[in-house]
Structure 1
Amino acid sequence: MTQKRILIVDDEYDIRAVAELSLKAVGAWQVSTAASGSEGVAKAIAEQPDVILLDVMMPDMDGIATFHALQANPATKSIPVILLTAKAQAAEQRRFAELGVQAIITKPFKAMKLPTQIAAALNW
């Protein structure tokens, strides 16, 4: 089985660092990170990860705009996206689900369970 590759897009360094450590140590995945939506889109095009973990609330280009940019590009359209959000209200969750994302993981997340949550969402 080939090693899974994941791209984490989050403007908060601490979130990127904790998620990266967990996904490398527990999931044994290759991890790359981006600190903004535009950087995330560029890395997704260049690296073609197996999945993108995308923060919703970011300055400039938020997660929803980033998701739309990924969907608009033929090179990244088929990459599954999992939203990472602190917005846990049912209405917001429904709105995110209606976008066509693969899954939604709420913050704060349990770092040691993150690889399992992602794998379950993708049926890996």
Structure 2
Amino acid sequence: MHEDLKRILYLEDVEEIAEIGLMALEDMGAFLVKHCATGQEAIDAFTTFKPQLCLFDVMLPDISGLDVLKAIRAMPEGRNVPVVFMTAKAQSHEQELYRECGAIDVIVKPFNPLRLSDEVKALWAQHNESQNPTALSA
């Protein structure tokens, strides 16, 4: 049995989108969320916040979400933390690129705030099952 998802590092630079995302994740999903508005802020917060999952925008004002993912993967404690991208740049070839870079999936913007926490929980469960397929039969 995998542990419940509680801690999410959320990287979104557009304040209005971040507010909606935070409301969906904290109020509806009951997650503990650390919001960052820049890629560098997310990189800096990663080791102290110790997220179980990262939810990253791709297009940011300082560095891209892909570069943030690369920086986190370079940290020993970031090698296995699942990352989901939330982006409007979500054509099939772009989604494939994000997965090839190490994201477990992509949530397309505009996202449905009423369904966001359930989508994140489902991705968390799917990721854990893929990491430990025998957990279901135990």
The structure with the greater share of residues assigned to helix is: 2
CA-based RMSD of the aligned residues comes to 1.5
Other-structure match for 2:113: 111
Kindly indicate whether residue 72 of structure 2 is the aligned counterpart of residue 64 of structure 1.
Answer: no
Provide the aligned length of Structure 1 versus Structure 2: 124
Distance 1:65 1:48 in 2: 19
Contact 2:5 2:121 in 1 (8 A): no
Residue 18 in structure 1 maps to residue 20 in structure 2? yes
76-85 or 48-57, which deviates more:
76-85
1:40-72 C-alpha deviation (Å, 9 max, x unpaired): 011111110111110000022110100100101
Identity, % of aligned pairs? 33
**Which residue among 97, 107, 110 is the counterpart of 2:99?**
97
**Greater Rg over alpha carbons, structure:** 2
- Measured in 1, the distance between the counterparts of 2:45 and 2:10 equals 10
**CA–CA distance in structure 2, aligned partners of residues 71 and 27 of structure 1:** 26
Report the 3-state secondary structure (helix = DSSP H, G, I; strand = E; otherwise coil) of the residue aligned with 2:125.
Answer: coil
Amino acid aligned to 1:66? V
- Which of 28, 33, 36 is equivalent to 1:34? 36
Q: Give the gaps of 5 or more residues in structure 2.
A: 127-138
| TM-score normalised per structure 2 | 0.84
Q: Show structure 1 runs of 5+ residues with no match.
A: none
